[in-house]
Amino acid sequence: MTESRRGRPSTGVREAVLKATEEVLGEAGLALSTKEVARRAGVVESSVFYHFGNRLGLLQAVIGLHLPVFADATVVLGRTRRSGDLTADLAAVIGGLERFYLRIMPILGALQSDLKLRELLVERQAEVGPHLALKPVAELLRAEQRAGRVRESLDAAAGALLLIGAGHQRALHRYLLGGLAEGVLPPVESVAETLAPAFAVA
Amino acid sequence: MTESRRGRPSTGVREAVLKATEEVLGEAGLALSTKEVARRAGVVESSVFYHFGNRLGLLQAVIGLHLPVFADATVVLGRTRRSGDLTADLAAVIGGLERFYLRIMPILGALQSDLKLRELLVERQAEVGPHLALKPVAELLRAEQRAGRVRESLDAAAGALLLIGAGHQRALHRYLLGGLAEGVLPPVESVAETLAPAFAVA
DNA sequence: GTCTATAAGTTGATAGAC
DNA sequence: GTCTATCAACTTATAGAC
């Protein structure tokens, strides 16, 4: 719909390949092969090389697709309307972060598992990277502080780390353990309730 | 030193292979190959197969070497003497967890990046797995509660998740960004100070 | 832009000598 | 237990036709 009419019309191969890559990345991790990706995308392997140059280029492309989103936790968080009840609001934020991290878990895993990919991340760390999520969450907290719903003396960055840590931790264990995680993990509500006194106005 | 004199004397190949595997795992992640491992261990490739059967067996062996340690966060935490100052103690615990997670990051990354490895984890989840770290930390909190240094009403499991989440989060970003992380991450002390009101006795 | 064909190398794994 | 030798399958990547 938003496609330009100029240039060669896209045949959707690029998109299909990217989608397939994400799929495979979620299953095989970095054991991902261009052949398998091509097979899933219903495309011939050389098309992958045509579009992305080489295997690392393909990996970069999928990661690049997601990394900006890392910085956009506000998309998730901003939409959630504050109820005024601190515990409920904290639970909503943690829950939002949890869903966000669950979605990008394969990409995060790949980043963790490959030296070359990590080097790439360090190179471009100003623009992209999971650490950028810290900023919008801290910003959200500062807004709440201005509204008088969170204590003035709170270190917004540290508060953000705690919220992100909790959300990510829950996401990680759910990703690793699947359905079994529910039996081991404390529920979001408990975590929010536990954290609330640290955020509450004196 | 602790070797038994019975049976064939170990020639250290097994140990060398395991060590090399960890090394490679930290760099290449799951792109780890038996050939490369053998080369680093200074051993012939077929020895790897002799000892571990196949590639997955090798991966299992290194992971199995570390997973029990996941449950043993107390080794780190128990050694740290409580100062009586809640913020300082929380900082020590988070710092300990951070160092622990930094050490096992490659293994955690591998776990995250491979479907087969995750299935294995689910299978053996009662004995091994990162979620087991939750228990000793919660236990530590309960001990502090009994000693009257942490509020009675605190949900120990939720508190543990927050501490672990904070430590893991800091470790993850340091692992991904290297030295650059210091500029982005709030220091442990700030995090501990922020979290303290949630743990303090009324 | 997508295809076929193929090069050149690496992979996990086994058999059998010592 | 460790070695040499070897295998088929698979890997990334390229050239060139359409």
Residue A135's pLDDT is 86
Identity (one letter) of the amino acid at A134? L
Helix and strand element counts for chain B (H, E):
11, 0
Which H or E run includes B168? helix B156-177
Query: Residue B185 gets which letter from DSSP?
Result: S
Identity (one letter) of the amino acid at A45? E
Residue A122's pLDDT is 86
Residue B65's pLDDT is 82
Residue B146's pLDDT is 93
Residue A6's pLDDT is 46
Q: Give the separation between CA A138 and CA A169, rounded to whole angstroms.
A: 18
The pLDDT tens digits for A67-107 are: 666 555 555 566 666 777 899 999 999 998 998 888 889 88
Is the CB atom of residue A35 positioned under 7 angstroms from any atom of strand D?
yes
Is the CB atom of residue B169 positioned under 7 angstroms from any atom of strand D?
no
Is the CB atom of residue B15 positioned under 7 angstroms from any atom of strand D?
no
CB-based contact A190 B158, cutoff 8 Å? yes
Is the CB atom of residue A128 positioned under 7 angstroms from any atom of strand C?
no
A114 touches B31 (CB < 8 A): yes
Identity (one letter) of the amino acid at A175? Y
In three-state form (DSSP H/G/I as H, E/B as E, the rest C), the secondary structure along chain A is CCCCCCCCCCCCHHHHHHHHHHHHHHHHHHHCCHHHHHHHHCCCHHHHHHHHCCHHHHHHHHHHHHHHHHCCHHHHHHHCCCCCCHHHHHHHHHHHHHHHHHHHHHHHHHHHHCHHHHHHHHHCCCCCCHHHHHHHHHHHHHHHHHCCCCCCCCCHHHHHHHHHHHHHHHHHHHHHHHHHHHHHCCCHHHHHHHHHHHHCCC
A111 touches A59 (CB < 8 A): no
CB-based contact B162 A166, cutoff 8 Å? yes
The pLDDT tens digits for B22-47 are: 999 888 887 899 999 999 999 999 99
The pLDDT tens digits for A96-154 are: 899 888 888 988 888 888 888 888 888 878 777 777 788 889 998 999 999 999 999 99
Residue B187's pLDDT is 97
CB-based contact B168 A168, cutoff 8 Å? yes
The residue ranges of chain B whose pLDDT is under 50 are 1-9
What would you measure as the largest C-alpha separation in chain A, in angstroms? 63
B177 touches B102 (CB < 8 A): no
The pLDDT tens digits for A2-61 are: 333 344 446 788 999 999 999 998 888 888 999 999 999 999 999 999 999 999 999 989
Q: Does A197 touch chain B (CB under 8 A)?
A: yes
Residue B75's pLDDT is 56
What would you measure as the largest C-alpha separation in chain B, in angstroms? 63
Nucleotide nearest to B41 (CA to C1'): D2
Q: Looking at chain B, how many residues does it have? A: 202
Q: Give the separation between CA B139 and CA B157, rounded to whole angstroms.
A: 9
Q: Give the separation between CA B31 and CA B8, rounded to whole angstroms.
A: 33
Residue A31's pLDDT is 82
Scan residues 99-158 of B and list those with Cβ closer than 8 Å to A: 105-106, 108-115, 118, 121-122, 125, 129-131, 134, 154-155, 157-158
The least confident of A123-137, A150-164, A185-199 is A123-137
Residue B14's pLDDT is 92
Identity (one letter) of the amino acid at A187? P
Contact positions of strand D to protein Cβ (< 7 A): 1-6, 10-16
Minimal CA separation from B175 to chain A, in Å:
8
SS3 percent helix, strand, coil of chain B, rounded to 5, is: 75, 0, 25
